[in-house]
Structure formats: C-alpha cells, structure tokens
Amino acid sequence: MNVPIWLEQRDGVFIASSVTDPEVRAEGLTRAAALRDIRRRLLDQAGGRELVFVSLDDTPIDDIFGSMAGDPDLQNICDEAYRLRDQQFREEFPDDNV
C-alpha cells in the first residue's frame, strides 16, 4: 500500500509527516532515516488493522432504484436542481434563451 507523505528539510533535518494525519511524523538526519521512521510509525498506528475500499459498482443498480421514493424532500431537491441547471444554462448561453 502506498501512503502519501510530506517530506521537507529544515535546518539539516528531514521531517516526514502523514498527509492524512499530520500528528504522525518523524525526523531524521537523512531522507532515508525519516522515511524509515515514518513507515514504522504508520505500521505501528495501523496495529494489525486493514484498510479496505468498498466499491459501489458491486451493488446491482436495481437495488438503488426507488430507494428515495418515500423521501418527502425528493421532489423539492429535484425541482431545485432543475432550477439551478436552467439558470446556469441561461447565464452561459444567453442567446439560446427561449
């Protein structure tokens, strides 16, 4: 797994910090030392946990259809979306207004 890390050098010291959790950081006299230490800290923080991603593509689309049918705000949401779309169209293409 690849994890994004901020790496900078200040006053001759390399500082590595996690992009997603700035509190996880390490310092080293060399770039390699800072990266080695942050890697160890991230592995310690994971503590045997596993990071996984769940894809909605595995969900049959039929399972989603109608899921909002009973929502009393659905029509208002749709009306506002169409109103904003139409307003944006009128602003972007004023010559095409009917």
pLDDT tens-digit map of 1-53: 788 999 999 999 999 999 988 889 999 999 999 999 999 999 888 887 877 77
Specify if 65 maps to a domain: no
pLDDT at 72: 84
Distance of CA 48 to the CA centre of its chain: 23
pLDDT at 12: 94
Specify if 41 maps to a domain: yes
Residue range(s) defining the domain that contains residue 29 = 5-46
Specify if 31 maps to a domain: yes
Can you give the pTM of this predicted structure?
A: 0.50
- List the Cα angle 70/76/81 in 5-degree steps: 120
Specify if 17 maps to a domain: yes
As given in the structure block, the two tokens for residue 68 are 């909002």
pLDDT at 48: 78
pLDDT at 84: 94
β partners of residue 93:
none
Specify if 88 maps to a domain: no
